């Protein structure tokens, strides 16, 4: 991987990066970045809010760079490591009391002291404000937060939870300044007070975020640049065009399949470099149990029986993604292929028998909804292909509708969509995070999915096990429940692609296990 001195070799899991498209290990070197030089990054994923207490979505990308968490995932790490904390540990063998001791001399960008009281304030307000679909859902096992002196924080859990350190490492648990973030409501405006590697110098909704070095920062990040500007795009093609025109130095999130394939081919643009990461992004459909058609198990199972994932991956995504047959992606402990084992190859005849057995003889009318500006412009083509497959079976009558993300999100939160598409980047690298967020009366989808077998038995059992390699049985059983219900229908698993100017180093080190961009890893090469 690129460092300031040399290219290092691969590491495992989602943050591991295949750089064969670039060169073998040891080819390039980079030096210190120019203090006056700004690196400009393009993405199709804009924040929905600047307050960590409100977000369980792509806003985390910005949070990781301007806030701190007690723990984080440095480049190459698959286990949480200390960041704002000097050290963290479970105090007891039952994994119910977790203690963190802060680094010394931590301060927020406004000069206020970051102490144990500020950490407690940050966690208490998440739970008190309790935004619908917000990060409070990650703190279901937390009973209370206490302080011991100025630098020690004690988390008391309701029940054993070996995944709690992973939760602390998510940007949802960003530490905020009590003076600027009210205890009982969200902060208004477009300003941020954090203690991360950067300060937010300027922010324009859906346009750009200007990050400058935070001179008060004390933490694990080794900053290789002094400033980064993030530009937000609605359209993938426009974003890549801006890179080609040298208006951007690097792009990620939403690069179209055609651009990836073109850059992999013989006619690739020599001044651009493509970095490929073995990501854990998944795309899936959600069925609304309140809809008169989507609530019927036979309709959902017939849908699953008709779905042709390989065709979707090939026709729309040019094989830059791979078919996914469970909510837990390949490469994560506990992955299964349940939907392939159950349904096999797509079959209209089998789907017809499923519907007829339930007394459904007419064509099933369903409206499929998607976000027009969240996952890249190709999403429209993806849903057009879904419509084609379903209607070709002669069993469905499909309407496709799209909305910009903020309106789309409001619609599914209010339960107005029969079927809708979502993407998921893991909060942390564990099978738990591909199951727990989607089930229960309250979940990230705001679409209640009570499943006592999962929430009361399988998840609590798995959380008692500190060795996460030993919980595959529980997660395989949980996936069987999801398979039987077909409330969530996995579509595909993606790779992570970064396209950058040949002048930019560090892209292959910049993605954490949740595929969140750590902007401080980026730098300009000074030699070849």
DSSP class per residue in 28-44: -B--PPPTTPPEEEEES
Q: Is the alpha carbon torsion for 70, 132, 125, 148 positive or negative?
A: negative
3-state secondary structure of 188: coil
Tokens of 26: 């040891």
Distance CA 153, CA 70 (A): 10
CA distances from 30 to 2, 180, 501, 502, 509 (A): 8, 39, 14, 11, 13
Q: Is 253 left (phi over 0), alpha (psi -120 to 50) or beta?
A: left
Chain-centroid distance of CA 313 in Å reads 20
| C-alpha closest to that of 53 among 106, 145, 104, 128 | 128
Q: Which residue has the tokens 């598409």?
A: 421
Tokens of 49: 């809010």
| C-alpha closest to that of 402 among 381, 423, 388 | 381
Distance CA 102, CA 96 (A): 20
Distance CA 386, CA 381 (A): 9
Residues 91-97: contacts with CB within 8 Å, 24+ apart? 91/154, 94/160, 95/157, 95/160, 95/161, 95/162, 95/164, 95/463, 95/464, 95/466, 96/156, 96/157, 96/158, 96/159, 96/160, 96/161, 97/154, 97/155, 97/156, 97/157
Give 199's strand partners.
212
Distance CA 19, CA 370 (A): 32
Tokens of 106: 């931590």
Distance CA 429, CA 16 (A): 12
Tokens of 397: 């009558």
Distance CA 250, CA 277 (A): 15
**Residue 512 contacts by C-beta under 8 Å, 6 or more apart in sequence?**
15, 64, 72, 73, 74, 75, 77, 518
Distance CA 369, CA 386 (A): 11
Query: How does pLDDT run along the chain (528 residues), one tens digit per residue?
Result: 222 223 223 333 333 333 333 333 333 333 343 444 799 999 988 999 999 999 888 899 999 999 999 999 887 777 899 999 999 999 988 889 999 999 999 999 999 999 999 999 999 999 999 998 889 989 989 999 999 999 999 999 999 999 999 999 999 999 999 999 999 999 999 999 999 999 999 999 999 999 999 999 999 999 999 999 999 998 888 999 999 999 999 998 888 888 898 888 877 888 899 988 767 889 999 999 999 999 999 999 999 999 999 999 999 999 989 999 999 999 888 999 999 999 999 999 999 999 999 999 999 999 999 999 888 778 999 999 999 999 999 999 999 999 998 899 999 989 999 999 999 988 888 899 999 999 998 888 888 999 999 999 999 999 988 888 889 999 999 999 999 999 999 999 988 889 999 999 998 888 877 778 999 999 998 744
Q: Is 51 exposed, middle or buried (0-12, 13-18, 19+ CB in 10 A)?
A: buried
pLDDT digits (tens, 9 = 90+) for 154-184: 999 999 999 999 999 999 999 999 999 999 9
Determine the Cα angle at 444 with ends 442 and 449, to 5°: 45
Q: Is 469 exposed, middle or buried (0-12, 13-18, 19+ CB in 10 A)?
A: exposed
DSSP 4: S
> What per-residue confidence (pLDDT) applies to 68?
97
3-state secondary structure of 345: coil
CA dihedral 157, 86, 52, 114 (to 10 degrees): 110
How many CB atoms are located within 10 Å of the residue 37 CB? 12
Chain-centroid distance of CA 358 in Å reads 37
> What per-residue confidence (pLDDT) applies to 11?
32
pLDDT digits (tens, 9 = 90+) for 11-36: 333 333 333 333 333 333 333 434 44
| C-alpha closest to that of 133 among 441, 491, 514 | 441
478 touches 454 (CB < 8 A): yes
Tokens of 342: 């159950």
How many CB atoms are located within 10 Å of the residue 289 CB? 16
53 touches 124 (CB < 8 A): no
161 touches 463 (CB < 8 A): yes
Helices (H) and strands (E) in the chain, counts: 14, 22
> What per-residue confidence (pLDDT) applies to 58?
81
Q: Is the alpha carbon torsion for 319, 321, 325, 330 positive or negative?
A: positive
45 touches 311 (CB < 8 A): no
> What per-residue confidence (pLDDT) applies to 278?
65
Determine the Cα angle at 505 with ends 8 and 331, to 5°: 55
Distance CA 187, CA 359 (A): 52
How many CB atoms are located within 10 Å of the residue 26 CB? 10
Q: Is 407 exposed, middle or buried (0-12, 13-18, 19+ CB in 10 A)?
A: exposed
| C-alpha closest to that of 328 among 435, 190, 212 | 435
């Amino acid at each position: 991987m690129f460092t300031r001195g040399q290219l290092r070799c691969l590491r495992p899991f989602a943050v591991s990066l295949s750089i064969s498209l670039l060169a073998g290990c040891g080819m390039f070197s980079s030096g210190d970045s120019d203090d006056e030089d700004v690196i400009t990054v393009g993405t199709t994923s804009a924040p929905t809010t600047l307050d960590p207490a409100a977000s369980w979505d792509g806003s985390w990308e910005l949070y990781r760079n301007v806030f701190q968490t007690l723990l984080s995932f440095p480049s190459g790490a698959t286990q949480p490591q200390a960041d704002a904390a000097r050290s963290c540990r479970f105090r007891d063998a039952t994994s119910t009391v977790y203690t963190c001791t802060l680094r010394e001399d931590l301060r927020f960008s406004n000069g206020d002291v970051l102490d144990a009281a500020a950490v407690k304030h940050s966690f208490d307000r998440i739970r008190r404000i309790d935004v619908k679909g917000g990060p409070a859902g990650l703190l279901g096992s937390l009973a209370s937060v206490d302080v011991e002196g100025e630098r020690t924080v004690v988390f008391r859990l309701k029940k054993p939870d070996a995944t709690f350190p992973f939760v602390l490492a998510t940007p949802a648990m960003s530490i905020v300044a009590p003076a600027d973030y009210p205890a009982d409501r969200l902060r208004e405006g477009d300003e941020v007070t954090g203690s991360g590697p950067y300060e937010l110098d300027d922010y324009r909704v859906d346009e750009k975020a200007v990050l400058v070095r935070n001179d008060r920062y004390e933490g694990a990040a080794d900053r290789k640049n002094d400033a980064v500007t993030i530009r937000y795009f609605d359209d993938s093609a426009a974003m890549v065009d801006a890179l080609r025109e040298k208006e951007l130095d690097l792009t990620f999130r939403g690069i179209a399949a055609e651009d990836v394939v073109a850059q992999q081919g013989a006619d690739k643009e020599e001044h651009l470099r493509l970095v490929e990461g073995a990501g854990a992004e998944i795309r899936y459909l959600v069925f609304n149990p309140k809809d008169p058609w989507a609530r019927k198990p036979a309709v959902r199972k017939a849908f699953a029986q008709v779905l042709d994932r390989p065709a979707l991956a090939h026709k729309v995504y040019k094989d830059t993604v791979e078919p996914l047959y469970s909510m837990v992606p390949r490469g994560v402990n506990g992955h299964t292929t349940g939907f392939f084992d159950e349904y096999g190859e797509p079959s209209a005849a089998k789907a017809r028998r499923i519907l007829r057995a339930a007394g459904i003889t007419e064509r099933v009318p369903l409206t499929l909804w998607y976000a027009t500006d969240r996952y890249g412009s190709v999403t429209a083509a993806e849903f057009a292909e879904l419509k084609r497959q379903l209607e070709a079976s002669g069993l469905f009558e499909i309407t496709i509708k799209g909305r910009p993300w903020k309106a789309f999100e409001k619609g599914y939160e209010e339960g107005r969509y029969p079927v809708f598409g979502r993407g998921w980047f893991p909060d942390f690298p564990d099978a738990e995070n591909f199951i727990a967020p989607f089930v229960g009366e309250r979940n990230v989808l705001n679409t209640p999915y009570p499943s006592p077998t999962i929430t009361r038995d399988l998840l609590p059992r798995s959380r008692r096990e500190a060795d996460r390699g030993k919980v595959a049985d529980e997660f395989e059983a949980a996936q069987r429940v999801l398979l039987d219900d077909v409330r969530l229908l996995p579509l595909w698993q993606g790779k992570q692609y970064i396209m950058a100017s040949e002048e930019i180093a560090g892209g292959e080190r910049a993605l954490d296990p949740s595929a969140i961009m750590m902007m401080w890893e980026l730098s300009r090469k000074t030699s070849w």
